[in-house]
Amino acid sequence: MVFLSKVLSFSPKSISRFIFAHSFSNSSLPKSLISRITTAFHQENPKLIDPVVSSKIQSCHLESVIHEFRSKPTSAIRFFKWSENFLGLNHTLKCHSMLCHLLLSKRMFDDARWVFAKMAEKFGEFDCLAVFDEGFKVYGADRSTVYSFLVDGYCRVGRINLSVELFFRMCKMGVSVSHYALLKMLSSLIDLRRLDLILDVYKEMENRSKGEPKRCFDVYGFVMNGFFKNEEASIGLEFHRKMIERGSKPDIVYCNKVLKSICCGYSCIEVANKLLLLLLDVGPRPNVVTFSTLINGYCKEQRLEEAFKLYVLMIGRGIEPDLIVYSILIDGLFKLGKFEEGHQLLSTALGKGVKLDVVIFSSIIDACVRDGDVERGVLVFKKMLKEGICPTLVTYGILVNGMCQIGCLLEAFGVLGQMLKNGVESSLLVYSSLMDGLCKAGNLKGGINLYRHILRSGFIPDVRVYSVLVNGLSKQGLLDDATRLFYQAVKTGLTPNIYLFNTLLDGWCRLNQLKKVANLYSQMDSYGVTPDIVTHTALSKSISQQGKVHLMLLFLFKMLKMGFSPDVVSYCTLIDGLCKHNNLTAGLQVFSLMVKNGVNPDIAIYNVLIHAFFNEGRLGNALELFRQVSRCGPEPDIVTYNTVIYGYCSMKMLDEAIQIFEELKLRQIRFNSITLTILIDAFCKEGRLDNAMSLFSAMLETGPAPNVVTYSSLLDGLFKSFRMEDAFKLYGKMLGSNVSPNILSYSILIDGLCRRGLVQEASKTFSSALSKGLLPDVVAYGILIRGYCKVGRLVEALCLYNRMLVDGIVPDSVINMTLKEFQLENLLGKSTCTPLQELNRSYCLAGKL
Tens of pLDDT, residue by residue over 566-586, are 888 888 888 888 888 888 888
Kindly report the number of other CB atoms within 10 A of residue 294's CB atom: 26
Higher pLDDT, 50 or 402: 402
The CATH number linked to 475 is 1.25.40.10
Find which of 20-34, 43-57, 607-621 is predicted with most confidence, using mean pLDDT: 607-621
Angle between helices 269-282 and 233-245 (to 10 degrees): 10
Q: Report d(CA 77, CA 732) in Å as an integer.
A: 104
Residue with the larger pLDDT of the pair 8 and 131: 131
Q: How far apart are CA 275 and CA 89, in angstroms?
A: 58
More confident residue, 40 or 272: 272
Mean pLDDT of the chain: 83
What global pTM score does this model have? Answer: 0.51
| 640: pLDDT strictly greater than 90 | yes
3-state secondary structure of 7: coil
pLDDT in tens, 228-262: 888 888 999 999 999 899 888 888 988 989 888 88
**Three-state SS for 422?**
coil
The reply to whether 829 falls in a domain is yes
d(CA 606, CA 133): 83
Q: What is the pLDDT of residue 23?
A: 41
Lowest mean pLDDT segment, chosen from 102-106, 126-130, 757-761: 126-130
The reported pLDDT for the residue numbered 556 is 76
Long-range contacts of 751-755 (CB under 8 A, 24+ apart): 751/716, 751/719, 751/783, 752/715, 752/718, 752/719, 752/720, 752/724, 752/727, 753/787, 754/783, 754/784, 754/786, 754/787, 754/790, 755/719
> According to the model, what pLDDT value does residue 267 have?
62
Tally the C-alpha atoms within 13 A of residue 521's C-alpha that lie toward its C-beta: 21
Could you tell me which of 417, 421, 346, 426 has the C-alpha nearest to residue 386?
A: 346
Q: Helix (H, G, I), strand (E, B), or coil: what is residue 72?
A: coil
Q: Find the helix or strand (DSSP H, E) in which 69 lies.
A: none
**265 has pLDDT over 90:** no
- Integer angstrom CA distances of residue 43 from 32, 36, 72, 99: 17, 11, 11, 20
pLDDT recorded at residue 33:
73
pLDDT confidence bin for 2, thresholds 50/70/90: very low
Q: Name the band, by pLDDT with cuts 50, 70 and 90, for residue 676.
A: very high
Contact between residue 638 and residue 669 where contact means Cβ atoms under 8 Å apart = yes
Nearest residue to 87 via CA among 131, 121, 37: 37
In a domain, 473, yes or no: yes
Could you count the other beta carbons within 10 Å of the beta carbon of residue 105?
A: 19
For residue 645, pLDDT over 90 is answered with: yes
C-alpha–C-alpha distance, residues 640 and 218, integer Å = 62
The three-class DSSP label of residue 620 is: helix
For 325-361, the pLDDT digits (tens) are 888 888 888 778 787 788 788 888 878 878 778 887 8
C-beta separation of 675 from 661 below 8 A: yes
Q: Which of 214-228, 541-555, 700-714, 717-731 has the lowest mean pLDDT?
A: 541-555
Residue 680, pLDDT above cutoff 90: yes
pLDDT for 28 equals 57
Which range has highest mean pLDDT (101-110, 281-290, 475-484)? 281-290
Question: 4-18, 83-97, 534-548, 594-608: lowest mean pLDDT where?
Answer: 4-18
Q: Is residue 507 part of a domain?
A: yes
Separation between Cα atoms, residue 573 and residue 555, nearest integer Å? 12
Query: What is the rounded CA–CA span in Å between residue 12 and residue 159?
Result: 19
pLDDT value of position 393: 92
Q: What is the pLDDT of residue 52?
A: 67
pLDDT, one tens digit per residue, over 380-395 is: 888 888 888 899 999 9
Question: How far is C-alpha 766 from the geometric centre of its chain's CA atoms?
Answer: 52
Residue 707 included in any domain: no
Euclidean distance between CA atoms 737 and 715, whole angstroms: 15
Using the predicted structure, report yes or no on whether residue 846 has a pLDDT greater than 50: no
Long-range contacts of 228-231 (CB under 8 A, 24+ apart): 228/258, 228/261, 228/262, 228/266, 228/268, 228/271, 229/266, 230/190, 230/191
pLDDT of residue 547 exceeding 50, the answer is: yes
Give 431-484 pLDDT, tens digit per residue.
Answer: 999 998 988 888 888 889 998 998 898 888 888 888 888 888 888 888 888 889
Q: Is the pLDDT of residue 694 over 50?
A: yes
Rg of the chain (C-alpha set)? 43
CB distance 847 to 769 below 8 Å: no
Average pLDDT over residues 556-561: 76
Q: What is the mean pLDDT of residues 62-68?
A: 75
d(CA 766, CA 784): 8
**pLDDT confidence bin for 549, thresholds 50/70/90:** low
Helix, strand and coil percent figures for the chain, each rounded to 5: 75, 0, 25
Of 167, 142, 141, 140, residue with least CA distance to 153: 167
Res 22 pLDDT > 70: no
What whole-number distance in Å separates Cα of residue 262 and Cα of residue 267?
A: 6
pLDDT for the residue 598: 87
pLDDT given for residue 15 in this prediction: 36
Residue 780 lies in a domain: yes
Rounded percentage of the chain residues whose pLDDT exceeds 90: 19
d(CA 824, CA 706): 42
pLDDT of residue 511: 81
| Residue 295 is assigned to a structural domain of this protein | no
Give the domain-ending residue among 480, 498, 531: 531
| Boundary (domain end) residue, out of 531, 561, 592 | 531
Q: Is the preceding omega at residue 284 within 30 degrees of 0, hence cis?
A: yes
Q: What is the total residue count of the chain?
A: 849
Q: What is the pLDDT of residue 829?
A: 52
**Residue type present at position 783:** I
In this predicted structure, the answer to whether residue 176 has a pLDDT above a threshold of 70 is yes
Q: What is the pLDDT of residue 313?
A: 92
Upstream peptide bond of 634 is cis (omega within 30 degrees of 0): yes
Q: Is residue 569 part of a domain?
A: no
Report which of residues 545 and 470 the model is more confident about.
470
Query: Which residue range is the domain that position 515 belongs to?
Result: 430-531
C-alpha 140: how far from its chain's center? 58
From 531, 561, 591, the end of a domain falls on 531
Q: Enumerate residues 6+ apart whose C-beta is below 8 A from 48.
A: 36, 39, 40
CA distance 406 to 409: 8
Query: What pLDDT score does 141 carry?
Result: 74
In tens, the pLDDT along 406-440 reads 888 889 899 999 999 989 899 889 999 999 898 88
**Which one is predicted more confidently, 447 or 839?**
447
Question: Residue 612: which of 568, 644, 638 has the closest Cα?
Answer: 644
Write the CB contacts of 110 (distance below 8 Å, at least 6 apart in sequence): none
- Total tally of structural domains belonging to the chain: 2
Residue 376 located in a structural domain? no
